[in-house]
């Protein structure tokens, strides 16, 4: 499958991934392999191959994922802003179209924080054979209050888990921040 997306407010990488996902499901595929991707200006061209693996093949491929990898994903639009985060005690500015990769160890806890007092914090524990974890971020926001109460809650940042397939798709496109 081949697709192109231009960094605009109407087309983003998640739209391209969803189009691939829909087409793969339509064709009965349950896995993909990254073939190539190219960023030129504001356009990103992507080519993937799709496959239908049986259960044994699927498990064999899943075992190839690196255990305990942690990926923190920046915004998927160049038009967005840099996020200020704290990861394992280190202050980091994660720009749009960037990600951080970290190899967590068994028994270790990686700590991701965004925002200050009203922000969010996640502890990612290293476990034997733990699949990779992907996290996306958001800055200041207003949302409904917790526990079904009437009102609004303010926050200075949120952390969201990202789905494994989407995460792997993105780390082939985004630039790793070292």
Per-residue pLDDT of 15-49, as tens digits, reads: 889 999 999 999 999 999 999 988 887 788 899 99
Per-residue pLDDT of 61-73, as tens digits, reads: 888 999 999 999 9
Per-residue pLDDT of 80-138, as tens digits, reads: 888 899 999 999 999 988 999 999 999 999 999 998 777 889 999 999 999 999 999 87
Residue 40: count of CB within 10 angstroms of its CB: 8
Compare 150 and 127 and report the one with higher pLDDT: 127
Which are the contacts of 12, defined by CB distance < 8 A and separation ≥ 6? Answer: 5, 76, 77
């Amino acid at each position: 499958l081949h697709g192109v997306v231009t960094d605009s407010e109407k087309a983003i990488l998640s739209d391209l991934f969803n189009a691939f996902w829909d087409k793969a499901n339509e064709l009965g595929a349950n896995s993909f392999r990254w073939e190539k991707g190219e960023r030129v200006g504001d356009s990103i061209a992507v080519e993937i191959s799709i496959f239908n693996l049986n259960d044994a093949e699927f498990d064999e491929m899943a075992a190839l994922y690196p255990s305990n990898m942690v990926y923190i994903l920046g915004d998927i639009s160049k038009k967005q802003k840099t996020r200020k985060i704290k990861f394992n005690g280190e202050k980091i500015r994660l720009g749009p179209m960037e990600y951080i990769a970290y190899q967590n160890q068994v028994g270790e806890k990686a700590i991701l924080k965004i925002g200050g007092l009203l922000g969010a914090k996640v502890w990612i524990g290293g476990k034997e054979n733990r699949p990779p974890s992907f996290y996306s971020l958001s800055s200041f926001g207003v949302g409904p209050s917790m526990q079904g109460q009437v009102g609004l809650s303010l926050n200075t940042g949120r952390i969201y888990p990202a789905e494994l397939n989407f995460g792997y798709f993105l780390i082939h496109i985004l630039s790793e921040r070292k």
